[in-house]
Structure 1
Amino acid sequence: MADGEYKPGLEGVPATRSNISFVDGQAGILEYRGIPIQELTAHSTFLETAYLLIFGELPKQSDLHSFEQAIRGHRRVKYRIRDMIKSFPESGHPMDALQTCVAGLGLFYPLQEMDPNYVFGTVTRLLSKLPTMVAMFHQMRQGNDPIPPDDSLDHSANFLYMLSGKKPDPWLARIFDTCLILHAEHTVNASTFALLVSASTLANPYSTLATAVGTLSGLLHGGANQEVMMMLRQIGSVENVRSFIEDKLAKKQRIMGLGHRVYKVKDPRAITLQRIAEELFERYGRDKYYDIAVEIERVCEELLGPKGIYPNVDFYSGLVYAKLGIPEDLFTPVFAIARAAGWLAHWREQLSDNRLFRPTQVYTGERHQRYIPLAERG
């Protein structure tokens, strides 16, 4: 890249050095701390994966136990956070509610010296309280009291319980845990970059996470899986797929859930999510929208494959979440619950060798203009 060359969206411009995750978009590889995502989804749990991402190594059994116990101990939120949620409009989007709640936590846990105890407390507090606040808003917007956490349940099972009031099938809880692992980290995406900029100012970590949550809420980032479900309903049947796709392409419109800034092959997370969807439908009944999604992938591979446009992580995740009974407008908050692990890893890494982000620009406006007095302006 030539010195000073402008790259829209900073595409291909390195913004930081990191050893947290690795992506090879041509080969379809995603690794967390060097471990392939396929191995983690097969053998790990979300909290173990979060520990790996944040602290840089797989934990010993005693360390993992302490980490899990700390997270269970932080699941409850201050009653003033509950009172704040009670005042939110029922029609508000859960991502706006979550961003407000995360920022509000900073009022109770002010920035302190960045010693290991403060970092550990911040990490475990945020990982535990995000699920509680998402479930709390969901219950309260329906006029219900929040369902208290059940400390006998693990991280994923407890969230599903707070959301529905029913203890989930352990197999379904494991499916959800796998989804959290898949969404936990993905290098310097838009929300992570926003977090890095905020962290570099030495802002309160809760404000920094709130910045990331707000960035994730955009339709071109975390909100795409909800848009995929809307698209599937709009298409309605397998027979309508080709005409829908061809019409979209003729109008040069995006097809939600397809294409990625990095991957030029099928997103490895989408491969795992499709397998999970197939297992879910085999056990709990087939969904016509899954058949529509498979046909979209087939048609788009024919029409867009040569351009390197394939399903990304959002394409099948909504189908899985819907089968788990998660409301569509909670898909992106669930993404945030998972991505908090990666965000906290980058927050910790940024502060280990911090430098304030201050990019430059390519100025395109006029210069040397005369000030025109108000009376002379036509």
Structure 2
Amino acid sequence: MMDESPSPLLFSSGTRDLTTPHSRPEDQAEEFFSLRPSSLREYIGQSETVETLEIAIAAAKKRGEPLEHVLLHGPPGLGKTTLAHIIAHEMGGRLTLTSGPALEKAGDLVGILTHLSEGDILFIDEIHRLPRMVEEFLYSAMEDFAIDFVFDKGVHARSHRFRLNRFVLVGATTRVGLLSAPLRDRFGLFRSLDFYEETDLVRIAARSADLLEIRLHPEGAQVLARRSRGTPRIVNRLLKRVRDYAQVRGDGHIYGKTVHEALALEGIDALGLTPLDRRYLRTIAEFYGGGPVGIEAIAATLQEESDTLVDVVEPYLLKTGLVVRTSAGRRLGAQAFSHLGSGLREVEGRK
């Protein structure tokens, strides 16, 4: 997937590994990496984002310059990390991966930045969770490709500017509203990833099945796509679970019936909702009369973190209209009442 240059070192503070080195799919034993597309041509869905990146990458290569910094935002599992791998591959640069929570101190970030070579790509996942002091170091690094050090204090204070190699920062976030304006404005490319259409998920499932050497029939791919919450990561995960079921309980082929039976055991219903999703909906319906109710009250009742509900559970429920967010709180949509009343019987009967 990447170029032939050696892998970067692991930068650490104490015993913490702050980065993950890039690697090529052929060097990986895990299927997770082999399922990633390695180029924009192979990437399925998100057509506007792909076209924007194709133009920007082609223009940057024509000028012989690094790509502008890229910010990708959207719900988990839609391909933000995959696009970072693809950008590195297309630009011929080395990819270094880290995350906002891992960069606890400014020194953690400085250690990574000073080891980047010309044209390297730095991917920061959950960039909205960067500590304020670390974020401020990024400003000059992104804009001027330099970082300023201050030695001593008071009247003896001295400032030194350290020049960095020109690199590309790819930031990913599920909550773009939590990014500060100064950081957000320093990104040249700003793209939002949305949930996938069912037709694209069918193509993704078919491609993954070919790579995994699974016999996936068209009706099986359609059922998988329908229950994958518009998310490629989920369709690939469910495909592997259905593969196990087909190999143990069937003939190894994945039909529509096979998917229905396997996902019923997993607790995935006809709309792709998980047990946590249904508990969320039932909590609003049974404890709060359908809403409106605040997210903190729902989290307390479910004994779950509110961030988990906001980042993982709510995006798809809001997208499909099962939940409506108002100024007074969350309330159930009409479809949610119908689904709670009749749509869960198949799954509940199997458990």
TM normalised by structure 2 equals: 0.32
**Higher helix content, 1 or 2:** 1
TM normalised by structure 1 equals: 0.30
Comparing both chains, which one has the higher relative contact order based on Cα–Cα distances under 8 Å and sequence gaps of 6 or more?
A: 1
**Higher strand content, 1 or 2:** 2
